[in-house]
Amino acid sequence: MTDAPLAALSARLPKLRLLTDAADLEHYGRDWTRRWTPAPLAIALPAEVEEVQAIVRWANEHGVAVVPSGGRTGLSGGAVAANGELVLSLERMNRVLAFDGVDRTLAVQAGMTLHAVHEVAKEHGLIYPVDFAARGSCSIGGNIATNAGGIRVIRYGNTREWIAGLTVVAGNGELLQLNRGLIKNSSGYDLRQLMIGSEGTLGIVVEATLRLTDAPPPSQVMLLALPNMDALMEVFSLFRARLSLQAFEFFTDVALRYVLAHGAQRAIEGDHPFYVVTEFDADERSQDAALAAFEMGMDRGWISDGVIAQSEAQAAALWRLREGITESLAPHKPYKNDISLRISALPVFLHEIQALLASEYPHFDVVWFGHIGDGNLHINVLRPDDLSDDDFISQCEHVTKLLAGTLQRHGGSISAEHGIGLVKRAYLGSTRSAAEIALMRGVKQVFDPNGLLNPGKLFV
């Protein structure tokens, strides 16, 4: 090892696993955005909290930036290392620390995957309710860093709701125990909540105490075909008023085309511009209520067709139509927007944005889908074969600027659940005021005085 700071790190922590092979730098230096060329200094894979602290202290002594790294399934470049940073992967810190049946909490190390958390909760007869398609690869630390949302927010809220305590290594290497699992703790600033969604810019989450809850009652999954965009919010109001919803997701015919080409199975025949996958509690009363809501939707012209899953396998097949979209689009290197609005602002906003996208992207495939029941829309724009990556991205950036202006007028957010990272930092000002951003910078300065934790992310 020739690099002097790295040699100093190895000398200080002889047991620390450090990777410097080109293939490892490439693998750990990128996330799912695939936009930046990875160029980290090295990859550190600590196995203990003390090692993380020592790495952060070393980083301060040598002025080396640190990129905290989980499953790197992020879509905003939050875990990208393209400037000689040390990637600090929490991958080996993936153990369960403690389950407490009285508190109904599960303490885990930050590198556990979301899927593994689900499995452990299930073994204890409970659930950790945050869920989304990347569950098999994303880490709980990364979920916390972005305040991840997903497909059950409508029932359970975002990651923020489920974090009872955090152990965090701050920018100076100090260890912070934040909230210690308390339900009530009215003792000043809630630093735990400040860490959630801070994208690794304030501290490195090394352990988390997660709240668990009862499994929901048995549910039913329904796929609906809708004749137009206005029907989307009408059907949402109709179903929300009559059923206890666990999920309400939408996608368009363009999304369907890609997901079918990727192996999902068609469940409704014919051409329909919009689709909804919804899941709701299924007791005897709600069976009738679901049927009544469906019939009312048909009568009013808001629903054109629908199927209800008759088995778990069918429910999974319907969900695949929605959850398989990101993967089916990935080979086309989509440009992604992840925006949110108040639900009440959606009907007007959707029309404005439809007109904007149709005029700005007349020849591109634009795929809409997302958590419409939370006011969260994913827009994926696909690069045509004859356009270079750079030209494609600069056209999309131009449209994002317009989109950000429209969002600002409607009081929306440029990032609903994926985070700001590198991808959206230029647009932070459309969602947060100058005064807010100045305060955020001030907070960063307090936790990370030398600016070494995930620099360049969140702020330009």
Our CB check for ligand 2HG shows the closer of 302 and 335 to be 335
Euclidean distance between CA atoms 290 and 173, whole angstroms: 54
Euclidean distance between CA atoms 85 and 38, whole angstroms: 10
CB of 71 to ligand 2HG, least distance (A): 14
Binding to ligand 2HG in span 120-139, by CB under 6 A:
132-133
> Residue 123: what are its φ and ψ, rounded to 5°?
-60, -30
CB of 264 to ligand 2HG, least distance (A): 14
Our CB check for ligand 2HG shows the closer of 149 and 456 to be 149
Our CB check for ligand 2HG shows the closer of 75 and 121 to be 75
CB of 142 to ligand 2HG, least distance (A): 13
CB of 13 to ligand 2HG, least distance (A): 36
Describe the crossing of helices 346-360 and 389-410 by its angle, rounded to 10 degrees: 150
Binding to ligand 2HG in span 81-100, by CB under 6 A:
none
CB of 84 to ligand 2HG, least distance (A): 29
Our CB check for ligand 2HG shows the closer of 241 and 261 to be 261
Our CB check for ligand 2HG shows the closer of 116 and 325 to be 325
CB of 433 to ligand 2HG, least distance (A): 26
Q: Which positions from 337 to 376 touch ligand 2HG by CB under 6 A, shown as an x/- string? A: -x-------------------------------x------
CB of 257 to ligand 2HG, least distance (A): 16
Our CB check for ligand 2HG shows the closer of 281 and 323 to be 323
Q: Is 389 left (phi over 0), alpha (psi -120 to 50) or beta?
A: alpha
Judged by CB under 6 A, the residue of 105, 380, 400, 415 near ligand 2HG is 380
Q: Which two tokens stand for residue 346?
A: 């959606």
326 scored as a contact of ligand 2HG (CB under 6 A) = yes
| β partners of residue 150 | 131
Q: Which residue has the tokens 């709600």?
A: 286
CB of 418 to ligand 2HG, least distance (A): 6
Our CB check for ligand 2HG shows the closer of 152 and 378 to be 378
CB of 199 to ligand 2HG, least distance (A): 16
Q: Which residue is nearest to ligand 2HG (CB)?
A: 326
CB of 380 to ligand 2HG, least distance (A): 5
User: What is the distance of C-alpha 160 from the center of its chain?
Assistant: 12
Binding to ligand 2HG in span 61-80, by CB under 6 A:
75
Our CB check for ligand 2HG shows the closer of 272 and 336 to be 336
Our CB check for ligand 2HG shows the closer of 246 and 380 to be 380
Our CB check for ligand 2HG shows the closer of 211 and 378 to be 378
Residues 86 and 59: beta-carbon distance below 8 Å = yes
Torsion angle in degrees (nearest 10) through CA of 7, 11, 13, 15: 90
Residues 350 and 229: beta-carbon distance below 8 Å = yes
Judged by CB under 6 A, the residue of 30, 72, 320, 336 near ligand 2HG is 336
Query: Which residues of the chain form contacts with ligand 2HG (CB under 6 A)?
Result: 75, 132-133, 326, 336, 338, 370, 378, 380
